[in-house]
Amino acid sequence: MSQQLSGMRFLTGVLAIGVVAGCSNTSGNTTTTCEPITQTSATRPASWGGTVFTIVMENKSRGDIVGNKSAPFLNQLIKDNALAAGYHDAYVHPSEPNYIWMVAGENFGVLDDDDPVSHPIDSASHIADQLEAAGLNWKSYQESMGDPCGITSHGLYAAKHNPFVYFNDLNGWDGKAFHPTQRCIDHVVDYSQLDTDLEAGKLPDYVFITPNLENDMHDGSIAQGDTWLSHEVPKILGSDAFNKGGVLFILWDEGSGTLSKGDDPPFIAISPNAKQGYTSNVEYDTSSYLKTVQQALGVAELPCDAARDEVQAMDDLFTVPMTAPATTTETPAP
């Protein structure tokens, strides 16, 4: 059955300026029926033929990272690449809805950190669906997950930081139990698989990476997260998948939790095509990030957002266009 847009972004309450009795600013909360995926091939822009990588860190504001001596590796990346200083999250909290938004462009009304058993999402228009329909490949690499397609949190692995396992077309939810699909088993894998894929030169077109709860700065320190990145990011930056038209986005799911002015998360764009040493003050949000990812991969923009044309892609961070030129057909002269 064809899906039709049944709504737009709506406010669920008055915009919160501070934290009240454990509540947070959830003014971006959205429940929208997505458009169906119809695109069967990708048209990638010139100069963007590499892998689109994302690494998501946890719960820090820009001021916690930028200029912090405990994060020397990150600050060198900022110095050498592009910082989106006008970026903010989608105004949904806590972590889980932000991760879901990163891959689908909305949070489907989810406003907690519960495992997928509490929130199986019946949508087939997230980024993984788009990529497969267009003939592109993808993987989510999750540190400390162990067995693929981890539906349940355990140890240092948090399902709330792994958005793909919430979608029924991956987790196999039948209304009573999960039956993980082969798609999920093949594509949602432990982080250790990344080294194997890097060595084999078989990285997919789209890579989503979540460090474990200590290395993503959630439970560990800024210094620990920075050290982890200093060990792992150079592997990516040394790959052909990155150097031949690739991009790495390092972003934080949300700020430090104060919800005060300026408590917005850092966002760094690293690429051979990034403007070196550039700081953008353009206002962007999580939908802007996803739209940028979709443009670089040549797939449809924000199928779960009726206001997609109002969302600005983060193109000022780069030296080359993010969109493919329009195809024109010339009529021969008589």
Give the pair of three-digit tokens for residue 241. 């998948």
Type and span of the H or E element at 140: strand 138-142
Is the separation of the CB atoms in 172 and 133 below 8 Å?
no
User: Which DSSP string corresponds to 322-334?
Assistant: SSPPPP--PPPP-
User: What is the mean pLDDT, run by run of 10 residues, along the chain of 334 residues?
Assistant: 35 34 67 92 95 97 97 98 96 95 96 97 97 98 98 98 98 97 98 98 98 98 98 98 98 85 91 98 97 97 93 96 62 43
Is the separation of the CB atoms in 245 and 50 below 8 Å?
yes
> Which domains does the chain show, CATH number per domain?
52-317 (3.40.720.10)
What is the per-residue pLDDT for 25? Answer: 72
User: What is d(CA 101, CA 109) in angstroms, rounded to the nearest whole number?
Assistant: 11
Separation in Å, CA 78 to CA 58, 59, 68, 124, 249: 17, 18, 12, 35, 11
What is the per-residue pLDDT for 50? Answer: 98
User: Which DSSP string corresponds to 217-269?
Assistant: SSSS-HHHHHHHHHHHHHHHHTSHHHHTT-EEEEEESS-SS---TT----EEE
What is the per-residue pLDDT for 155? Answer: 98
User: What is d(CA 144, CA 153) in angstroms, rounded to the nearest whole number?
Assistant: 10
What is the per-residue pLDDT for 334? Answer: 41
* Rg of the chain, C-alpha, whole Å: 19
Quick one: how far is CA 314 from the chain centroid? 13
What is the per-residue pLDDT for 172? Answer: 98
Give the pair of three-digit tokens for residue 242. 């990155």
